[in-house]
Amino acid sequence: MQRKFITNLALLLFLNFLIKPFWIFGIDRTVQNTVSAEEYGTYFALFNFSMLFNILLDVGITNYNNKNIALHKQLLSKYFSGIVVFKFLLAVIYFLVTFVVGYMVGYDSSRFYMLLFLSINQFLISFIQYLRSNIAGLQLFTLDSMLSVLDKTLMIGFCVVLLWGNVFDVEFQLMHFVYAQTLAYSITLFIVFGIVLTKTRHFKFKLDKSFLFLILKQTYPYALLVLTMTFYYRLDAIMLDMMLEDGERQASIYAQAYRLMDASNQIGVLFAALLLPMFANMIKNNKKLDELVKLSFSLLFVPAIVLAVFSYTFSKEIMELLYDSNTTESANVLSVLMACFVAIASTYIFGTLLTANGSLKILNKLAIGGMLLNFILNLVLIPRFQAEGSAIASLITQFLIVVLQIIVAKKVFNFSINYKFIGAVTLYVLMIITLINGISMYISGFVIQFIVFISISIVLGITMRIINLKKMYQIVVDREL
């Protein structure tokens, strides 16, 4: 199982690093620099708002389906027919709730128009994720890896034409960016649907009420978990937009820094997508989890802490390199958010492990507590510190949650404490902090500083065996691992 994890992770990372950085820094960043800060701030706030009730499109089906298809592949045909119909019913509920709440908070017609297409995009994303959960559940990780970048590849093609193609004799508008996403998601949906259809014995577009109630009964804990986590991940930009007079500008500042954390966060998403069915399968077969947990944690923690330390030290240089305005303010936000990424990265390991085990009751308690804490902290910190206040609220919330998840995972799986590994990780963190201070003092040139720091950090991680290349090689060549 470790071999499968490493080989498929390598492919998944390669494909995503090939496509998604260009999408985030080439397309999305260019769009923000092209339109006004206030206009992009409105888009970012509405995008986050459209995600608040995203769980109504899924109610935990994707995670539940991923786990169960991994355990019982013969259920694919039965589940597929019933869930596809259910997804459309959930879409109706999602649109009603989203627009009613949007009306209650006072959105005008122009915001509602953009929100409509952003909500359609959420529906398409949710449907694609469900379809891909079937492919991952069947352990077809190579195929799933290729499909994971299909939508972004299409979006890049459409946006390149819109931004630089000079094909249309019209000025670029933010809604063109939204339309391009809708088209790309639609094409991806049809392709992935066709692939899953070939893996099923039959498909019948029919409503089965008893099946729907059975699914709801089994998935509502997943739904509650995702809902509460979405709230404390996405409330920040919405509260900035609503609480401050210059809310659109503050949301735009937050978006500039958040983009970098979100780009880094994609690594964690990829890990979780691979680990969930693997953990579920290993737990079912009573296989030892320690080594895979340690391996996945070390592979994710090292880049997380390296990026966090570098971003904290050179936040101003990074922002000035990427953006045309508000770089001082967004640099302060970046310093905090990239530290937050360290906690989020760890959550993708231990939260996924607990999800695969079905420990949803405790995860939901933690998530509800995190949501309430994040909301209260935002209320207190936003009026005083504005966008930076939201980042601080996230930092406190995320670190508290991951510490509690680690404690719970140790208790549930009876993990022994590896003091040698903890000591090595602690020493590694101290060494790269010392390293970055030395580089900032004695080496000039941002690009050179970045290359030197990343190179030495990787060498240190390997030398100190935080990343054990020998173990990884043995896993790859030994098909029994």
Quote the pLDDT of residue 480. Answer: 42
Quote the pLDDT of residue 263. Answer: 79
Which tens digits make up the pLDDT trace of 60-119?
777 666 666 666 666 676 677 778 888 888 899 999 999 999 999 888 888 899 999 999
Say if residues 411 and 350 touch (Cβ distance below 8 Å).
no
Tell me how crowded residue 280 is: count the other CB atoms within 10 A of its CB. Answer: 24
Query: Is 4 strand, coil or helix?
Result: helix
* ∠ CA 226-230-233, rounded to 5°: 140
Give mean pLDDT, residues 394-416.
Answer: 89
Nearest C-alpha neighbor of 232 from the set 398, 59, 32: 398
Say if residues 44 and 254 touch (Cβ distance below 8 Å).
yes
Instruction: Report the C-alpha gap between 79 and 77 in whole angstroms.
Output: 6
Q: Which residues contact 314 (CB under 8 A, 6 or more apart)?
A: 440, 446, 449, 450
468 burial type by CB count under 10 A (0-12 exposed, 13-18 middle, 19+ buried): middle
Q: 474 pLDDT exceeds 60?
A: no
Higher pLDDT: 286 or 184? It is 184
Nearest C-alpha neighbor of 344 from the set 184, 233, 461: 233
Which tens digits make up the pLDDT trace of 299-340?
888 888 988 999 888 888 888 888 877 888 889 999 999 888
Say if residues 66 and 133 touch (Cβ distance below 8 Å).
yes
Q: 478 pLDDT exceeds 80?
A: no
Per DSSP, the residues of 331-390 read HHHHHHHHHHHHHHHHHHHHHHHHHHHT-HHHHHHHHHHHHHHHHHHHHHHHHHHTHHHH
Quote the pLDDT of residue 399. Answer: 92
Q: Which residues contact 126 (CB under 8 A, 6 or more apart)?
A: 54, 57, 58, 62, 87
Element containing residue 395 per DSSP (H, E): helix 387-413
Give mean pLDDT, residues 351-371.
Answer: 86
Which tens digits make up the pLDDT trace of 26-39?
888 888 888 887 88
Which tens digits make up the pLDDT trace of 170-179?
778 889 999 9
- pTM for this model (two decimals): 0.72
The band of 393, judged by pLDDT with boundaries at 50, 70 and 90, is very high
Q: 236 pLDDT exceeds 50?
A: yes
DSSP 244: S
Say if residues 17 and 271 touch (Cβ distance below 8 Å).
no
Nearest C-alpha neighbor of 323 from the set 22, 30, 76, 23: 30
3-state helix, strand, coil in the chain (%, to 5): 85, 0, 15
Quote the pLDDT of residue 481. Answer: 44
Tracing tokens 């390991």 back to the chain, one arrives at: 349
Which tens digits make up the pLDDT trace of 193-221?
888 888 786 667 776 677 777 777 777 77
Q: What is the overall mean pLDDT for the chain?
A: 82
Say if residues 284 and 75 touch (Cβ distance below 8 Å).
no
208 burial type by CB count under 10 A (0-12 exposed, 13-18 middle, 19+ buried): middle
Quote the pLDDT of residue 471. Answer: 61
The band of 479, judged by pLDDT with boundaries at 50, 70 and 90, is very low
445 Rama class: left (phi>0) / alpha (psi -120 to 50) / beta: left
Q: Where are the domains of the chain?
A: 2-416
